[in-house]
Each structure stands twice: as C-alpha cells, then as structure tokens.
Amino acid sequence: MKQGFATRAIHAGQDPEGLTGAVTVPLFQTSTYAQTAVGQHKGFEYARTHNPTRLAWENNIAALEGGAQGVAFSSGMATLDSIMKLFARGDHIVASEDMYGGTFRLFDKVYRRFGLEFSYIDMTDPTRLADALQSSTKMVFTESPTNPMMSVIDIEAVAGLCKAHNALLVVDNTFMTPYLQRPLELGADIVMHSVTKYLGGHSDLVGGVAVTGSDELAEELKFVQNAAGAVPGPLDCWLCLRSSKTLALRMRQHDENARAVAEMCNEHPKIEKTLYPGLPSHPQHELARRQSSGFGGMISIELGSEERAHTFAERLKIFLLAESLGGVESLVNHPASMTHGSVPPETRRRLGISDGLIRLSVGIEDKADLLRDIEQALDAI
Ligand code: P1T
C-alpha cells in the first residue's frame, strides 16, 4: 500500500546513510569526488552535476508531488528560468495574467528579448485559454491560487486543453505545496516551487525545485540544470530535507490559522474585501474544495486606500512587514509597491492589485495572538 504523505515526507529519499547508519542524510559539502582511475567513479563526478544531499532532496520532493523526478535549483526564479530554456525563438507561451511579479518580469523583460512570445489571460475561464492557444503554443503557465489575487484555476480543465494542443502545462504550486494540492495528478506536466516559501518553511533559505511527470522531461531539465548550472548548495538541500519532515504539520496549522484570520477579516467592517479560497463567498470556492485538500495560509484583503494599507501594515506587531511568504512567522506585504512593483500599473489596476491591497502570509503562531494583532492594527485605521 502507498505510504501516507507525512511518512513519505520523513522517509522518501532519506534512508539511513550506508557507512555509519546516520539517520539524517549527511551534508555533502564538497565540490568534487575522487576517481580511482580515469573515468572510474561512484556515479558522482562534479558537484554542479551531482550531489548526494541534493539527490536525496530531489527524490524526496518527487515522492511528495507524485512525480517521476525532482530537479532542484538555486531559487524559484532559477527554476522557471531553466524551464524556459526548454523553448526556442518563436515559441508561444500562454500565462495567467495574475501571478508573482518576478515571473512576469522574467517573461516580459528577459525571454521576450530572446524571441519567445507571450499571451496573458484570465486563466480562471478555460474558454479564454481555448481562444489563446495557437499552433506555436508550447507551454501554458499558471499558479493556483494566484499571487496575490487568490484566484483558483481549474488545473484539470486547463490540462485537458493543453494535452489536446500538445502544449506543456507548468503549474507553480508554491502557495499550496504538495500537502494540499498535487498538480501532476490533475494532468500538469511540470510542477514548480519557490522552495524559499513553504517547502523551506523557516525564512532561512532561497531555493527552487521542479518535479516532472515523465523521466523524459526530467532528463531535459537535468541537462539544463547541469549546462546552465543554477544549482542549490548542499546546505540548502539539507535544510529542505529537514523542513520536509514537518511540512504536513506546518501546512495543517497554516491552513487552520488562515481560515480563522480570513473569517475574521471577512466580517470586519474596515475590510472591503477578503480574498481566500476557503471562504464560501470566494468565486472558486467549490473548485478549491475539489482540487485541493485545504486552502493554505495566504490571504489578500482590500483596505480601500494606500494610506489605510500602509497604516495597517505598519501597525501590525506579530506580522512582520516583508517580502516573501510561507515561513513559520506571519508576514504582511503591500503587493503594489513590493512583490508586484514590476507589473505595469494599468495591469495591476485591471487585476485588482490596488494600492489598498494587503497580502497576509499567516504563520503558525498561536491563532489568538494573530487575531488580536490584526484587530489592534485595524483599530488604528
Ligand atoms: O524568490 P524565488 O525563490 O526566486 O521565487 C520566486 C517565486 C515564484 N513563484 C511564486 C508563486 C512566488 O511567490 C515567488 C516569490 N514570491 C515572493 C517573493 C513573494 O513575496 O510573493
């Protein structure tokens, strides 16, 4: 019988070490490996290509996402950058118009210069995708839920359209993690993460990873991983293995705390709108229930003006004002001026990333303390 998620998180790729029986995968902090004769080695030649700690982390995350292989990179952006190297001039990519600002920047400011073409659409409506697909479309890219508007994309419906069109579906699963959502099981070809967020989970590393549904795709990505070399260091991989062991516990608490925060925000008179897929009022609430086993720790709220948003963010005491998300500590972010500053103002306006929008990454502190912190910050506006 297939082992449960938490068991796989603790054991997959993490057998006791052969020489000493060490229960924890050792940190192989080495750049190269001695050969006994020219060309005779133990499968490890040079650390850009192979590292045992990295390999353990890649096997671990592949088991959690239910994929063929994991391929680790030095950041979330390096992961996407490496995926983009699978394509060539003239290839067309369809992406969700709501996504992390840095992803838009990579597409628009870097890969457009290399001759790739992009269409940005409202991915919540699969008919828009059907209209956007062209004969040159090679990839469809989406997050779900999206950053920061928390829209939920029907991954299975999008995957069906991609299959019929021979386009790869790449899903950024950073907000959900495989504990709550497994896009490969819904038909995606590649799932990627900013490991900096929930997978790392402690705001102490920058990393990224891709998991493919097929060995063939994994080999293509591993070729880029070695050829371009945006690899993570062994210490970061070791930290990821440690974090993986508590992923199930952490995600359960992020989810529980965020539900309480979202409910409170939803009822508060000073908050105009609360965007959280776990609220029955969310437009894709039923879809979120169907394709994920929880709603995660991310919430966006509309406070009505930049001044109110700034006051709220600055008055919070436990929630720290910072970029990033997914750590054990709660964070607050002002997307328009921080994470989504590189999105053109007219696009931000159209998507609803207003100057009054605030994004909360709800941590795993005591729920009552988080609710009190929000209450006192709202009192100030
Ligand atoms: O920061 P990096 O590890 O390179 O990951 C980029 C990235 C990719 N995908 C998603 C969904 C992300 O949210 C991010 C990074 N996001 C933030 C820093 C943020 O605060 O939204």
Give me the sign of the Cα torsion angle 377, 340, 263, 327: negative
pLDDT at 1: 81
Going by pLDDT thresholds of 50, 70 and 90, the confidence category of residue 159 is very high
Query: How many alpha carbons lie under 13 Å from residue 303 in its C-beta half-sphere?
Result: 27
Q: What is the mean pLDDT of residues 171-194?
A: 98
Which residues surround ligand 1 with Cβ inside 6 Å?
Answer: 75-77, 100, 102-103, 143, 147, 172, 174, 194, 196, 206, 208, 323-325, 333, 339
Residue 197 a catalytic site member: yes
* Joined tokens for residue 136: 């040159």
Query: Under CATH, what is the fold of the domain 247-379?
Result: Aspartate Aminotransferase, domain 1 (3.90.1150)
Atom of ligand 1 at shortest range from CA of 77: 4
* Average of per-residue pLDDT values in the chain: 97
pLDDT digits (tens, 9 = 90+) for 259-289: 999 999 999 999 999 999 999 999 999 999 9
Looking at residue 192, what is its pLDDT?
A: 99
pLDDT interval class at 167 (50, 70, 90): very high
Domains 5-244 and 247-379 share a fold: no
Give residue 2's pLDDT band: very low, low, confident or very high (50, 70, 90). Answer: confident
Closest Cα to residue 238, out of 41, 44, 7, 58?
58
Q: Domain limits of the chain?
A: 5-244, 247-379
What are the b/e assignments for 116-128, b being 16+ CB within 10 Å?
bbbbbbbbbeeee
Q: Catalytic residue among 91, 172, 255, 355, which?
A: 172
Q: Is 100 a catalytic residue?
A: yes
Residue-wise pLDDT tens digits, 349-359: 999 999 999 99
Q: Which two tokens stand for residue 144?
A: 């779900």
Is the pLDDT reported for residue 191 higher than 90? yes
Which residues, in sequence order, are CB contacts of 278 under 8 Å at separation 6+? Answer: 255, 258, 259, 262, 285, 288, 294, 295
Q: Per-residue pLDDT averaged across 226-242, rounded?
A: 98
CA distance 302 to 336: 12
Per-residue CA distances from 156 to 92, 133, 162, 180, 314 (Å): 21, 16, 10, 15, 40
Query: pLDDT class for 104, splitting at 50, 70, 90?
Result: very high
For residues 146 and 98, what is the distance between their CA atoms, to the nearest angstrom?
6
Q: Can 48 be counted among the known catalytic residues?
A: yes
In this structure, which topology does domain 5-244 adopt according to CATH? Aspartate Aminotransferase; domain 2 (3.40.640)
Inter-residue contact 97 to 129 (CB < 8 Å): no
Mutational pocket test of ligand 1: of 153, 194, 239, 240, the residue with most ligand atoms within 8 Å of the beta carbon: 194
- How far is the centre of ligand 1, averaged over its atoms, from the C-alpha of 85 (Å)? 19
pLDDT in tens, 203-225: 999 999 999 999 999 999 999 99
High-pLDDT (> 90) share of the chain, %: 99
**Res 65: pLDDT:** 98
For the residues of 128-175, what is the DSSP string, one character each?
Answer: HHHHH--TTEEEEEEESS-TTT-----HHHHHHHHHHHT-EEEEE-TT
Contact of 44 with 72, CB cutoff 8 Å? no
Structure-block tokens of residue 235 = 């210490």
Nearest-CA residue for ligand 1 atom 6 is 76
User: Apex CA 285: angle with CA 355 and CA 266, to 5°?
Assistant: 50
Residues 6 or more apart whose Cβ sits within 8 Å of residue 46: 31, 32, 33
Q: Which of 196, 236, 338 to mutate to test the pocket of ligand 1 (most atoms within 8 A of CB)?
A: 196
Tell me, in angstroms, the distance from the centre of ligand 1 to residue 42's CA.
36
